[in-house]
Structure 1
Amino acid sequence: MNPTIIKKTFFILLLTFYAKNISAQSKNVLWYKQPAEFFEESLVLGNGKMGATVFGGVNSDKICLNDITLWSGEPVNANMNPEAYKNIPAIREALKNENYKLAEELNKKVQGKNSESYAPLGTLEINNSEKGKATNYYRELDLANATSKVTYEMDGVKYTREYFVSAPDQVMVVKLTSSEKGALNFDISLKSLLKSEVSVRNNVLMMNGTAPIHENAGYKVPEKYLQIKERGTRFTTLLQVKKTDGQLTSSRDALTIKKASEVYIYVSVATSFSGFDKNPASEGIDDVALAAQNLNKAYTKPFGKVKESHIADYQKFFNRVDLNLGKTAAPDLPTDERLLRYADGKEDKNLEILYFNFGRYLLISSSRTLGVPANLQGLWNPHLSPPWSSNYTMNINLEENYWLAENTNLSEMHSSLLSFIKNLSVTGKITAKTFYGVNEGWAAAHNSDIWAMTNPVGQFGKEDPMWACWPMAGAWLSTHIWEHYTFTQDQSYLKKEGYPLMKGAAEFCLGWLVTDKDGNLITSPSTSPENQYKLADGFVGATFYGGTADLAMIRECFDKTIKASKVLNTDTAFRDKLEKALAKLHPYQIGKKGNLQEWYFDWEDNDPKHRHQSHLFGLFPGDHITPLKTPDLAEASKKTLEIKGDETTGWSKGWRINLWARLWDGNRAYKMYRELLRYVDPDGKKTATPRRGGGTYPNLFDAHPPFQIDGNFGGAAAVAEMLVQSDENEIRLLPALPDAWEEGSAKGICARGGFEIEMNWSNKKPQKVIVSSKIGGKTTLIFGDQKQDVILKKGEKKEIVFE
């Protein structure tokens, strides 16, 4: 054959191979050509309790370690301000007289301590003896098996590192290999920002320390907080090395490996935390013994076995859902470059899927500890003074973390939050009485922490009521219980745990409501989370009465508690009370601009484009405002969103995408989803033209800014919301499908009623739909104006074809 033809044929085959195997972007792999310099470039691993943040440096590799139970503080004294409630009548009187300035000042008297702070456990460092320039550097996080990998070459030797954090074995494992025998030479050390000591015993590297016991007032940790002895949560990190060859030696506080070819590092962490109401110093778990037990068990197993059980455990959750959004022509680029290209308006459907998959990955990795849900940063915090204490902010952020739990088929991860709500109800009973003068039920406020703190914050009168004084977290959180029931149909859970918590939240709301001049029920005092009104005389304040957000959450709380009592056929007298109160709630008002009023009166917003949109709660995450049931309120909600605009913080973008999805505006939802994925520079990076604002950091973390994980979770939840919406009786298919996703498929999206959906669509119409039922039941499938009733037995599947 002609050599020229051979060359051409080979070239065509090469191009075909490249197009098939290289050009398509991955839906499951984040990858980079350089190590992480900043936290917002690092790759995170976790098993729901232990977290690892991998930087992947060449000469020095840094891995930040976290344990989700390591917080400052001790069990909260819920009775910290026993007579605070005595100020409520005076606040109500001032509001009745329309003296908002006085009400604002008096509201500060109904405050308690601030939350405690999520603490960084420590940093593992691997320092290589060989110092040089690496070539062919590659770093990845594979969401399909929850492992991270680094490879590079130096002086002709290829080095590989593999990292994962196992849930079955409760350890982190790092595998290091070199292509040439004896080329691994490095030191391993541990250090912590907290008070700690490092030692080596029998070639086991050990770090012991204690978290501070004081609240993080003003979000800064003074040095004195680290000096108090014999109190606070203890922590232990144990590290042991397994090698196939080479030498292992130790110094007083480090391990050294020389001339090895393959090395395994096993890391185990534990704390003395033993419950929100147990003193971690005097009633705590033996953290040293627990860390040693987990390390010893894992260390005796072959690496392959530990990895295999880790992947199997993880994939039983991750593999439930599969999403495809059609053909993509996006080139194969590192994830940071890919984000930059996407920010320029280019198409990358698999990046949109990657972000969705990353959200599910993060929830599996950060939410598997009962009573300790994912916090503001999920599980991953390297800072002694993390932003907003990395606490539980319950006026949106904690709840947004769990919007994807049920509909993206991760119901088990919801248990961390549901069990935390049970803890809140204990301290919340005292808070209801002492701060609000309500003797029935339980209340929770703006912030909480691992100790299930429920009091309104503000350092006893030092901080602004616009965020410190807000008692509606119990009402909001109680709706998560109903969500869990409607998706799982777990009546046993609803009866034993769920309903009593829902009832307690509703009881508080009943006791907190007062009658307005028209005979309607309102809240007084009221605030609309973190927002302020502006009066005609120029006064700017937050304290008022009859807040739309309050009443939306109470509506939802009452409605779901009524439904729960009917399901369980219980509590008819209490149900009757709720039904009567629900009918008397002050109705929604539409303002002069056509917007849904946030305030009792049609006042101006101090910031018309404010990030919070709490008064739209009834549209999402609630469901009592819909385009069909309440078209006027849906239209007013739309007007509100238009006035606010699309430019906002990361978590707020996540919420607004869900709101647009509920308004069945797929293209507007998609526009904002693209903006959520807008590239943002790491916080500490200095550039001539920095990219700041709400969006996505190079490692796909949500930029509030700074990093908050809620935007990741809210954005992922919104993708499912665009594809499937449901209530107890109906499942609506492709209700907010954007033009950009005209063809695709989804498998494993869950719907209320205990159903699961598998479907493919083209030309924006479903072609084949398979509905399966977890426990049996009936529903109505809807697409556009087409409806099909479906009745299934437990475990049964049915294929539905739409014309």
Structure 2
Amino acid sequence: MSTEHRLYYTTPCTTFSGSLPLGNGRLGASVISSPSREAFVLNEVTFWSGGPHTAGSGLASRAADPMAELRQTQRCLLAGDYEEGKRRSEKYLQSMENNFGTNLVVGRLDITVNGTMDSEGVRGFERELRLDSALAEVRYDSDGHRVRRRSFMSYPHQVLIVSFESDDPEGLNLEVSIQGQNEAFAARSRDGRIEFDAQALETVHSDGNCGVTGHGVVGVYSDSQEVESKECKIFVRGKKSATILLAFTTNYQQTGDGWREQASRQIEEATKLSVADLLAAHLADYQPLYRRMSITLGPSSGSEPASLPTDQRRQKFEPSNYADPGMFTLYFHYARYLTIAGTRATSPLPLNLQGLWNDGEACRMGWSCDYHIDMNTQMNYFPMLPSALPDLMQPLISYLKRLVTAGKDAAQACYGCDGWVAHVFSNVWGFADPGWETSYGLNVTGGLWMASHLIEMYEYTLDETLWGKQPIRS
């Protein structure tokens, strides 16, 4: 495969920062690989802590006449009385965080290769992410026997597929388990499957009692049909191959309990097909998007840099005075890959601050994995149109429509004004109030900047119905 379309490494990965990302625009997985283990940090775009918010309810004090108070605060600031202007802003316009929430990690899927050590008897270890096929692969020899693992996130079937192959006459011996990030996680195994329930709870950005609930299923099948489940684990004995499937759905914007059965249905449908058929459907869906464009920046100076593992290639890049233009091309294609893997036209939400993938580290700090609409959300969408992916803007447009509705209430509650407003950041619950620090929280142009994407998209596509049936120019 062209070195401009893959990330390639010859060392195992033990941390999230070195993982390889997979995604189908809703469900994400970060692949952590070593000879003895294949692990997946799981994310889902709607798996949020927190809850709905009523416009203005988080303000420290509610002004009797928001418009009059706004004018008085403006007069203070314009007259140079910044101390009084700040005091009034903090009293009447600064929000409290309450149950704003954040996007959390769903859990971690661990697949242990029993009998395999990370060093003893292992030769030729390689792992790669093929950007052109959205496929992660691991290869190595263990005691003279070839082992190959492949994983991909299917958009057509909405499942994570992990396949193991080995020519060892002793066969494969795997142990599959899943664990959550917090105490609101429960798993049970039966009939060769693991079912698990999770809730997005945390106490940094919410009160620890509210958040989206999700349900997942892990299914396994092997060519020997030797699959046993007990103690919330699945034990697999395969002759030459074994396949692990995972599906996960949430109750975000759902009514009733029908959503709980969706993950089981997705597993049922996927297990009717071979890995080859699942991969064929995956490629037929993904590659037309990825192959919409190409770019060439010229040959590298010599053949060595392009053939090196990606981490070694990066180390040589700057010292070589950037004599490897193919590295720029790789960065460009990797950005396109992350865009397609991170969001699709039907995704329930747009890309957030960290895309589709996070390990929860930022969520444990004062930061949040949310929608920073004073810059970060916009940055995620800058490459969409130049790289021929205008249809992947649809989740942002749908989100903006919902934000307008919330922003109308915020404009009235906070300022006594008509129209709509959104400030520095927002969440999946339609938060549009000012932020909780006046130095940045009173930025009133976040929504306007978001809306500018519509104008840019119209300039690229000349589609007058981006906002729905009503022409955008009316």
TM-score by length of 1: 0.55
2:274 paired with 1:302:
yes
Q: Which amino acid aligns with 2:311?
A: D
2:46 paired with 1:69:
yes
2:359 to 360, 382, 389: 382
> What RMSD over aligned residues (CA atoms) do the two structures have, in Å?
2.0
| Number of the residue aligned with 2:24 | 47
Per residue, is there more helix in 1 or in 2?
1
1:409-453 per-residue CA deviation (whole Å, 9 max, x = no partner) reads 0011111111100010011001111112212x1110101111121
Whether the aligned pair in 2 keeps the contact of 1:209 and 1:235 (CA below 8 Å) is: yes
1:200 to 160, 165, 189: 189
Q: For residues 182 and 481 of structure 1, what CA distance do their matches in structure 2 show?
A: 59
Change (3 A) 1:488 1:384: same
Once the two structures are superposed, the pairs formed by residues 415-430 of structure 1 within 5 Å of their partners are 415-430=394-409
Once the two structures are superposed, the pairs formed by residues 101-116 of structure 1 within 5 Å of their partners are 101-109=83-91, 110-114=93-97, 115-116=100-101
Q: Which of structure 1's runs of 4+ aligned residues deviate more than 6 A?
A: none
Q: For residues 261 and 495 of structure 1, what CA distance do their matches in structure 2 show?
A: 52
Once the two structures are superposed, the pairs formed by residues 456-467 of structure 1 within 5 Å of their partners are 456-458=434-436, 464-467=437-440
2:426 paired with 1:448:
yes
C-alpha displacement of 1:391: 0.5
Name which one, 1 or 2, has greater alpha-carbon Rg. 1
Change (3 A) 1:196 1:456: same
2:177 paired with 1:186:
no
Q: For residues 215 and 71 of structure 1, what CA distance do their matches in structure 2 show?
A: 12
Q: For residues 192 and 243 of structure 1, what CA distance do their matches in structure 2 show?
A: 26
Q: For residues 284 and 358 of structure 1, what CA distance do their matches in structure 2 show?
A: 39
| Number of the residue aligned with 2:75 | 93
The gaps in structure 1 that reach 5 residues or longer are 1-20, 275-279, 459-463, 500-563, 566-803
Whether the aligned pair in 2 keeps the contact of 1:160 and 1:178 (CA below 8 Å) is: yes
SS of the residue corresponding to residue 158 of structure 1 reads: strand
Whether the aligned pair in 2 keeps the contact of 1:445 and 1:456 (CA below 8 Å) is: yes
Whether the aligned pair in 1 keeps the contact of 2:454 and 2:466 (CA below 8 Å) is: no
Q: Which amino acid aligns with 2:212?
A: T
Q: For residues 203 and 412 of structure 2, what CA distance do their matches in structure 1 show?
A: 23
Change (3 A) 1:167 1:243: same
SS of the residue corresponding to residue 405 of structure 1 reads: coil
Q: For residues 74 and 257 of structure 2, what CA distance do their matches in structure 1 show?
A: 46
2:462 to 489, 492, 503: 489
Q: Which amino acid aligns with 1:135?
A: R
Q: Which amino acid aligns with 1:37?
A: T
Relative contact order, CA 8 A, sep 6+: which one is greater?
2
SS of the residue corresponding to residue 454 of structure 1 reads: coil
C-alpha displacement of 1:215: 7.2
1:90-125 per-residue CA deviation (whole Å, 9 max, x = no partner) reads 311211211123222322231224332001101000
Whether the aligned pair in 2 keeps the contact of 1:247 and 1:260 (CA below 8 Å) is: no
Once the two structures are superposed, the pairs formed by residues 459-608 of structure 1 within 5 Å of their partners are 464-494=437-467, 496=469, 499=472, 564-565=473-474
SS of the residue corresponding to residue 242 of structure 2 reads: strand
Q: For residues 319 and 285 of structure 1, what CA distance do their matches in structure 2 show?
A: 39
Q: For residues 371 and 265 of structure 1, what CA distance do their matches in structure 2 show?
A: 26
Q: For residues 226 and 165 of structure 2, what CA distance do their matches in structure 1 show?
A: 15
Whether the aligned pair in 1 keeps the contact of 2:397 and 2:467 (CA below 8 Å) is: no
Once the two structures are superposed, the pairs formed by residues 348-363 of structure 1 within 5 Å of their partners are 348-363=324-339
| Number of the residue aligned with 1:640 | none
C-alpha displacement of 1:495: 6.4
Whether the aligned pair in 2 keeps the contact of 1:207 and 1:237 (CA below 8 Å) is: yes
Q: How many residues align?
A: 455
| Number of the residue aligned with 1:435 | 414
C-alpha displacement of 1:384: 6.2
The gaps in structure 2 that reach 5 residues or longer are none
Q: For residues 466 and 265 of structure 1, what CA distance do their matches in structure 2 show?
A: 50
Q: Which amino acid aligns with 1:36?
A: C
| Number of the residue aligned with 1:149 | 137
Q: For residues 87 and 60 of structure 1, what CA distance do their matches in structure 2 show?
A: 61
| Number of the residue aligned with 1:367 | 343
Q: For residues 259 and 442 of structure 1, what CA distance do their matches in structure 2 show?
A: 59
| Number of the residue aligned with 2:113 | 128
Once the two structures are superposed, the pairs formed by residues 739-754 of structure 1 within 5 Å of their partners are none
| Number of the residue aligned with 1:333 | 308
Q: For residues 186 and 396 of structure 1, what CA distance do their matches in structure 2 show?
A: 45
Q: Which amino acid aligns with 2:165?
A: T
Change (3 A) 1:260 1:288: farther
Percent identity between matched residues is 27
1:464-521 per-residue CA deviation (whole Å, 9 max, x = no partner) reads 322222111121111111112121111233563573xxxxxxxxxxxxxxxxxxxxxx
Q: For residues 55 and 233 of structure 1, what CA distance do their matches in structure 2 show?
A: 26
2:152 paired with 1:164:
yes
Q: For residues 56 and 263 of structure 2, what CA distance do their matches in structure 1 show?
A: 35
| Number of the residue aligned with 1:293 | 265
Q: For residues 243 and 370 of structure 1, what CA distance do their matches in structure 2 show?
A: 32
Whether the aligned pair in 2 keeps the contact of 1:182 and 1:258 (CA below 8 Å) is: no
Q: Which amino acid aligns with 1:286?
A: G
Whether the aligned pair in 1 keeps the contact of 2:464 and 2:471 (CA below 8 Å) is: no
Whether the aligned pair in 2 keeps the contact of 1:272 and 1:286 (CA below 8 Å) is: no
Q: For residues 203 and 420 of structure 2, what CA distance do their matches in structure 1 show?
A: 23
Once the two structures are superposed, the pairs formed by residues 647-686 of structure 1 within 5 Å of their partners are none
Q: For residues 20 and 83 of structure 2, what CA distance do their matches in structure 1 show?
A: 48
TM-score by length of 2: 0.91
Change (3 A) 1:241 1:494: closer
Q: For residues 166 and 498 of structure 1, what CA distance do their matches in structure 2 show?
A: 35
